[in-house]
Amino acid sequence: MTTTIAAIRGMHDILPERISTWQRIEDAARQVLAGYGYAEIRTPIVEITDLFKRSIGEVTDIVEKEMYSFTDRNGDSLSLRPEGTASCVRAVIENGLLNQPLRLWYRGPMFRHERPQRGRYRQFHQIGVEVFGLDGPDIDLEVILLTARLWRTLGLTGLRLEVNSLGDTQERAAYREQLVDYLEGHRTHLDADSQRRLTTNPLRVLDSKSPETQAITAAAPRLMDSLGEETRAHFAAILAGLEAVGIAYRINPRLVRGLDYYNRTVFEWITDDLGAQGTVCAGGRYDGLVAQLGGRDTPAVGFALGIERLVELVEAAGTVAAPPLDAYLVAVGEQAQREAPVLAERLRDAAPGLRLMTHCGGGSFKSQFKRADKSGARYALVIGDTELARGVIGIKPLREETGQRELTLAEAAELLTAASPRA
Ligand code: ATP
Ligand code: MG
């Protein structure tokens, strides 16, 4: 017997039974983002490896150990994108889009070679937002507000907002020294990754998941205390905006984010309902990244949310049923089977948006009718020799105890449209 081939570990099929939840999230995001004037951008899922090294940072989990990198036939090192920001920045620089403020969003698969577990996969999907050319707190506030609106649209109530400010480059440099001084005193009690990062990227030690390290960083000097007046005012304006709109938040001084490019504002939306992988959405400001990748100096802010984690939350909040079929067309006899696709096309012309499945593969009236019933359709449409001779369609409600009627094509189209009004 031939052996079967399985999907790659950590990469999953999204089967039809779950797809309505995915579509509901994607539709809600599209609708909310359009409501704030954001435009969609689509970039390739493969990029030159250096793009990610230069943007995400060499000393990050992603670049150190999670990237799917390979050499292509030309000998170039390419990588499957582990996140969307780097590609987005490359695209806006390359296409010369930075001469005015830009509000963009994207969605699609991302790839990271992590240990697969609940809420953590090797291919996963994100919806993300990137705004370029605006440096005030008003836009930081806007991106947070639109995420809050998305949760409301999806009926999710259990998400908490955490915010922090990482300061600007100088403030971070000053803080970095204080932090290193402090952490050096506890070096031997830090986890191995953190010991290494102490010299390469000490702020990331604050992001460590090791409980021992966390106990040490809990008493570390706080970045918030090293912030200058301007950064504080920027942060305060965001917090005031959140309060004015009525969005609850918590300042989390340990929130530093896993990527290198953030400055000033960072935020996360967190839930307790997903076990260890509780962060559903994460983002912040990254004013230096565009210049770092060779573009003109351009402030930027954005976020990414993990669709798989949202799907789990939305499913827990109640199932999203796929819209049922309006009708299933049963055709009995040779002539009727030839006529069926013609009739179905005319019905689709007459009733745009109609969800009509035509029976394929022939068979007796009884077996076709069984399929009609199983399809979940509201009506069975029936054509046989009699109906053809009289120029009518038989129509039988499948979900109520009413008999079969005969209608003309125009009448059938009207009935089906009325029965299932569409947005
Ligand atoms: P985490 O701390 O969970 O590893 P991260 O800081 O690596 O997250 P980001 O790179 O900021 O996450 O990605 C934003 C969001 O994308 C996360 O909050 C999460 O919802 C989702 N995400 C990230 N990595 C994965 C993954 N491997 N599988 C599923 N979703 C993911
Ligand atoms: Mg991660």
Clarify whether residues 86 and 231 are in a common domain: yes
Is residue 106 domain-resident?
Answer: yes
Residue 423 pLDDT > 50, yes or no? Answer: no
The Cα–Cα gap between 308 and 122 comes to 12
Q: Which atom of ligand 1 is nearest to the CA of 126?
A: 16
**Quick one: what percent of the chain has pLDDT higher than 90?**
77
The Cα–Cα gap between 21 and 126 comes to 15
Clarify whether residues 283 and 343 are in a common domain: no
pLDDT tens track for 316-360:
988 677 788 999 999 999 999 999 999 999 999 999 889 999 999
Query: How many angstroms separate the alpha carbon of residue 306 from the centre of ligand 1?
Result: 6
Nearest Cα to 205, choosing from 157, 52, 214, 390?
214
Beta strands per DSSP E along 173-261: 250-251
Clarify whether residues 273 and 371 are in a common domain: no
Is residue 26 domain-resident?
Answer: yes
Query: How many angstroms separate the alpha carbon of residue 258 from the centre of ligand 2?
Result: 7
Is residue 211 domain-resident?
Answer: no
Clarify whether residues 310 and 334 are in a common domain: no
Clarify whether residues 139 and 280 are in a common domain: yes
Clarify whether residues 347 and 297 are in a common domain: no
Domain harbouring 334, CATH code: 3.40.50.800
Residue 145 pLDDT > 90, yes or no? Answer: yes
Clarify whether residues 69 and 46 are in a common domain: yes
Q: Which atom of ligand 1 is nearest to the CA of 258?
A: 6
Which residue has tokens 């984690």? 309
Which residue, judged by its Cα, is nearest atom 21 of ligand 1?
Answer: 306
Clarify whether residues 302 and 409 are in a common domain: no
Q: How far is CA 153 from CA 25, 32, 236, in A?
A: 9, 8, 27
pLDDT tens track for 381-412:
999 989 999 999 999 999 888 888 999 999 99
Q: What is the DSSP string of 300-355?
A: EEEEEEEHHHHHHHHHHT---PPPPPSEEEEE-SHHHHHHHHHHHHHHHHHSTT--
Clarify whether residues 367 and 334 are in a common domain: yes
Which residue, judged by its Cα, is nearest atom 7 of ligand 1?
Answer: 258
Contacts of 400 (CB under 8 A, 6+ apart): none
How remote is the C-alpha of 164 from its chain's centroid? 23
Ligand 1 contacts CB of residue 114 (under 6 A): yes
What mean pLDDT comes out for the span 114-126?
A: 96
> Residue 334 is part of which domain span?
327-419
Is residue 304 domain-resident?
Answer: yes
Is residue 176 domain-resident?
Answer: no
What mean pLDDT comes out for the span 196-212?
A: 87
pLDDT bucket at 60, cuts 50 / 70 / 90: confident
Q: How many domains does the chain have?
A: 2
Which residue, judged by its Cα, is nearest atom 24 of ligand 1?
Answer: 120
Clarify whether residues 287 and 234 are in a common domain: yes
Pick the last residue of a domain from 256, 285, 317: 317
